[in-house]
């Protein structure tokens, strides 16, 4: 059990399990992108730890770039996506892999992906650490997902609660 600001969180996904799942996703990417040089867009802030671990297992050469979007305040999605730092590489004719921490409603990814197609990307795939499948509200295709989880608010391994808790290696779920 950990306390972050005003809430208690209990351990749900230990670091050993996360490492195993991240490795599985990397192996799938290694098969699909062998010999290619995709642009990997790490979505800040939440995906920094996932991306850092994921890229270490890759056997192809990705170009790793960062973008920052924001749609969450406190413990719920605002439904409106703000792009705070954009992608400044030319994605024309490139394969793009968007690396996200968690797909919840899917609104963030759904709104972000068209820009890569409109800039001429050859392909655009979503690679997320976590997905809450029962929360999806848009027809988003999630291509790579390390772990599917139930609908509850989580922190750790890059994910925050009001800016705190990103540093934990394990993932915790809020208690009622």
| Active site amino acids | 104
Kindly give, in sequence order, each residue whose CB lies less than 8 Å from that of residue 36, ignoring residues fewer than 6 positions away.
60, 95
Span of 5-13, 54-62, 86-94, 149-157 interacting with ligand 5GP by CB under 6 A: 149-157
CA 21 – CA 7 distance, rounded (Å)? 27
Residues 100-119 that bind ligand 5GP (CB under 6 A): 100-108
The piece of 24-32, 48-56, 57-65, 96-104 that touches ligand 5GP (CB under 6 A) is 96-104
38 binds ligand 5GP (CB under 6 A): no
- Whichever of 60 and 153 has its CB closer to ligand 5GP, that residue is 153
Q: Which residues, other chains included, contact 41 with Cβ-Cβ below 8 Å and sequence gap of 6+?
A: 65, 66, 67, 87, 96, 97, 98, 99
Total site size for ligand 5GP, rule CB under 6 A: 18
Does residue 72 bind ligand 5GP (CB under 6 A)?
A: yes
Q: Assess contact for 119 and 92: CB atoms under 8 A.
A: yes
Report the greatest alpha carbon distance in the chain. Answer: 48
Residues found near ligand 5GP in the complex (CB under 6 A): 46, 71-72, 77, 100-108, 153-155, 159-160
């Amino acid at each position: 059990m950990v306390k972050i600001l005003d809430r208690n969180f209990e351990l749900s996904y230990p670091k050993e399990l996360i490492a195993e799942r991240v490795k599985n996703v990397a192996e799938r990417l290694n098969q699909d992108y062998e010999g290619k040089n995709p642009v990997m867009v790490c979505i800040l802030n939440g995906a920094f730890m996932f991306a850092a671990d994921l890229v270490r297992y890759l056997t192809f050469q990705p170009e790793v770039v960062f973008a920052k979007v924001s749609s969450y305040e406190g413990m719920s999605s605002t439904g409106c996506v703000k792009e705070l730092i954009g992608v400044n590489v030319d994605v024309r004719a490139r394969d793009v892999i968007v690396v996200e921490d968690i797909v919840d409603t899917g609104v963030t990814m759904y709104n972000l992906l068209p820009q890569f197609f409109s800039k001429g990307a050859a392909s655009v795939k979503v690679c997320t650490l976590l997905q809450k499948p029962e929360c999806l509200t848009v027809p988003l295709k999630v291509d790579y997902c390390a772990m599917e989880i139930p609908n509850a608010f989580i922190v750790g391994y890059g994910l925050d609660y009001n800016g705190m808790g990103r540093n934990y290696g394990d993932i915790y779920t809020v208690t009622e």
